[in-house]
């Protein structure tokens, strides 16, 4: 039998939004709960729009965050401005909370480099989206070791999916984080599927959180569909790392309600019943039911919020579409500090072609 290490698991709300135990005192702040809820709704509406833009050919491949809004919103809420996010490709929710603009996210997925050049000062030191699986976990350790060497009370926060935890890069990152006791938090979004590979055959360990134990630091699990539980545990993890108590691996149990990306069709490998069941556990409805039960949310507020968020999303789409196309040579702009002589010809050729095309179109 696989060896299960007993680790903490946190859940405050049932899928029906019922309180299962005592809430931490911070949860008495209904303004905070409203902000968290609002941000999940905004993320979901933006996500739907991004998928629609891909389907109509206006952006490239997009990785939907549908069903995993609570994890991203929790991470983005508890990070301090001076902390650094080292994200993966399913982090729309966190990026929005860090101040990355919706139009920047659309530019990125539209293949435009300007989408990774964040205008928001608080997000300037955050890393761009990492597409290669798990390499960002090592980048995070590099960032965290810089914080440690400089004696700064900052945390490197990195995110990844369940599949990434099987990669050598991830395990090497855990190793160095434990060996050097780095101020880094690994947030694993265990959404049960690594493209078409289900969690049960992905890895023999009963939990992904227990991988931290082998590396010599704290790991725990949380219900990733319970906004209150994730917020609480991400906050505790960041405080621990910030105060020199070492790294944390937080495994957030969730479900990928959408396709892996817009280039995938999950109906080809995933049972419909499983997805139907997962919808009953999703995070937005759960927090909404709790807030309605507490008398702090109602249908009127819901409708106002939806129309406000739809307005914000539409304005972002308008800004994205007004951004125009980048100059072709921009793909070479940030590759080298000084463009190498050996590649000078390629750059000139590109400029000549662009000039020729501009000339052609002006004679049309
Ligand atoms: Mg996954």
pLDDT for 204-253, tens place per residue? 999 999 999 999 999 999 999 999 999 999 999 999 999 999 999 999 99
Grade residue 359 by pLDDT with cuts at 50, 70 and 90: confident
Nearest C-alpha neighbor of 123 from the set 104, 95, 151, 162? 95
> How far is ligand 1, taken at its centre, from the CA of residue 259, in Å?
10
- For residue 24, the model assigns a pLDDT of 95
Residue 289 buriedness (CB in 10 A; 0-12 / 13-18 / 19+): middle
What is the pTM for the complete model shown? 0.94
> How far is ligand 1, taken at its centre, from the CA of residue 227, in Å?
19
- Cβ-based neighbours of 333, under 8 Å, separated by 6 or more: 113
- For residue 364, the model assigns a pLDDT of 53
Mean pLDDT of 48-77: 97
Mean pLDDT of 168-192: 98
On the question of pLDDT at 317 being above 80, the answer is yes
- For residue 203, the model assigns a pLDDT of 95
Spatial separation of the C-alpha atoms in residues 78 and 333, rounded to whole Å: 34
> How far is ligand 1, taken at its centre, from the CA of residue 298, in Å?
33
- For residue 362, the model assigns a pLDDT of 65
Note whether 155 and 236 are within 8 A (CB). no
Q: Is 291 helix (H, G, I), strand (E, B) or coil?
A: helix
Kindly state the DSSP code that residue 341 receives in the 8-state scheme. Answer: G
Kindly state the DSSP code that residue 336 receives in the 8-state scheme. Answer: -
Note whether 40 and 287 are within 8 A (CB). yes
- For residue 302, the model assigns a pLDDT of 98
Please give the backbone phi and psi of residue 252, each rounded to the nearest 5 degrees, phi first: -100, 115
> How far is ligand 1, taken at its centre, from the CA of residue 194, in Å?
4
Please spell the DSSP secondary structure of 73-123, one letter per residue.
HHHHHHS-TTSEEE--TT-HHHHHHTT--HHHHHHHHTT-GGGGS--SGGG
Spatial separation of the C-alpha atoms in residues 72 and 246, rounded to whole Å: 22
Note whether 137 and 170 are within 8 A (CB). yes
> How far is ligand 1, taken at its centre, from the CA of residue 251, in Å?
12
Spatial separation of the C-alpha atoms in residues 361 and 364, rounded to whole Å: 5
Cα 3–chain centre separation: 30
> How far is ligand 1, taken at its centre, from the CA of residue 163, in Å?
6
Structural fold of domain 9-321: Rossmann fold (3.40.50)
Positions annotated as catalytic residues are 256, 260, 269
Spatial separation of the C-alpha atoms in residues 102 and 94, rounded to whole Å: 12
Query: Mean pLDDT across the chain, nearest whole number?
Result: 95
Q: What is the pLDDT of residues 12-34, one digit of tens each?
A: 999 999 999 899 999 999 999 99
The rounded radius of gyration (Å) of the Cα atoms in the chain is: 22
Grade residue 354 by pLDDT with cuts at 50, 70 and 90: confident
Spatial separation of the C-alpha atoms in residues 253 and 271, rounded to whole Å: 19
High-pLDDT (> 70) share of the chain, %: 99
On the question of pLDDT at 363 being above 80, the answer is no
Residue 85 buriedness (CB in 10 A; 0-12 / 13-18 / 19+): buried
Note whether 169 and 88 are within 8 A (CB). no
Q: What is the pLDDT of residues 96-125, one digit of tens each?
A: 999 999 999 999 999 998 999 999 999 999
Helix-strand-coil percent breakdown of the chain, rounded to 5? 50, 10, 40
């Amino acid at each position: 039998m696989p060896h299960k290490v007993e680790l903490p698991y946190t859940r405050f709300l049932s899928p029906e939004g019922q309180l299962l135990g005592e809430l931490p005192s911070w949860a008495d702040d209904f303004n905070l709960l409203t902000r968290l809820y609002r941000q999940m709704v905004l993320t979901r509406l933006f996500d739907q729009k991004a998928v629609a833009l891909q389907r109509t050919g206006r952006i490239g491949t997009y990785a939907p965050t549908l069903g995993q809004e609570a994890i991203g919103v929790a991470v983005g809420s508890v990070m301090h401005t001076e902390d650094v996010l080292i994200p993966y490709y399913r982090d729309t929710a966190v990026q929005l909370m860090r101040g990355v603009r919706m139009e920047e996210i659309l530019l990125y997925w539209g293949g435009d480099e300007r989408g990774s050049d964040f205008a928001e000062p608080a997000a300037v030191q955050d890393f761009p989206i990492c597409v290669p699986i798990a390499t960002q976990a090592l980048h995070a350790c590099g960032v965290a070791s810089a914080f440690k060497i400089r004696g700064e009370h900052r945390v490197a926060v990195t995110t990844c999916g369940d599949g990434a935890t099987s990669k050598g890069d991830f395990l090497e990152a855990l190793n160095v984080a434990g060996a050097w006791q780095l101020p880094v938090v690994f947030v694993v979004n265990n959404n049960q599927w690594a493209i078409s590979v289900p969690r049960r055959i992905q890895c023999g360990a009963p939990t992904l959180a227990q991988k931290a134990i082998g590396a010599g630091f704290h790991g725990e699990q949380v219900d990733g569909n319970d906004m209150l539980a994730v917020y609480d545990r991400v906050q505790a993890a960041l405080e621990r790392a910030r105060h020199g108590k070492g790294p944390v691996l937080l495994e957030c149990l969730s479900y990928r309600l959408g396709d892996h990306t817009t280039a995938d069709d999950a109906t080809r490998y995933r049972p419909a019943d499983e997805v139907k069941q997962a919808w009953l556990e999703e995070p937005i409805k759960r927090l909404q039911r709790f807030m309605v039960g507490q008398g702090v949310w109602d249908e009127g507020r819901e409708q106002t919020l939806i129309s406000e968020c739809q307005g914000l999303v539409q304005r972002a789409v308008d800004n994205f579409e007004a951004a125009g196309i980048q100059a072709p040579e921009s793909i070479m702009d940030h590759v080298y500090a000084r463009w190498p002589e050996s590649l000078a010809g390629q750059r000139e050729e590109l400029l000549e072609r662009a000039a020729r095309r501009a000339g052609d179109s002006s004679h049309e």
